């Protein structure tokens, strides 16, 4: 059962090659055991798709869901793909994105052009 009343969010940390999927996003997708990360270069979007146990799916450990932690994925390849799609993301910065859940598709969609710079005075550069 998906909770679409919660605004999904993710954090992209270019410097640490990390994407942090906030627990509110996982909850909004119905607490799946696996998710797939999808990048749509044409629309400059990132998707978090609820998934079964399949190739390239990321398992979300129950310990993560029981704690206060977010789920983190480290991937240089993913960061390179995101930078190619959205070149205005800077190497040493972190960005938060808020998205929307499409319950009929079991996916949360985030628009990279709406990324908000975190913890820096460089907001005017976006």
Q: Where are the alpha helices (DSSP H) in the chain?
A: 23-28, 62-66, 76-85
- pLDDT per residue as tens digits for the range 20-68: 999 989 989 999 999 999 999 999 999 999 998 888 899 998 776 667 6
Alpha-carbon Rg of the chain, whole angstroms? 14
DSSP state, 53? S
For the chain, the domains span 9-121
pTM of the model: 0.83
């Amino acid at each position: 059962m998906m909770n679409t009343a919660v605004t999904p969010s993710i954090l992209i940390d270019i410097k640490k090659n990390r994407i942090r999927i906030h627990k509110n996003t996982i909850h909004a997708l119905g607490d799946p055991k696996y998710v797939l990360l999808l990048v749509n270069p044409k629309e400059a979007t990132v998707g978090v798709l609820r998934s079964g146990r399949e190739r390239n799916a990321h398992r979300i450990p129950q310990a993560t869901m029981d704690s206060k932690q977010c789920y983190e994925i480290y991937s240089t390849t993913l960061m390179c793909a995101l930078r190619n799609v959205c070149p205005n993301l800077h190497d040493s910065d972190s960005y938060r994105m808020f998205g929307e859940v499409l319950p009929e598709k079991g996916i949360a969609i985030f628009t990279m052009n709406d990324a908000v710079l975190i913890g820096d005075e460089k907001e005017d550069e976006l």
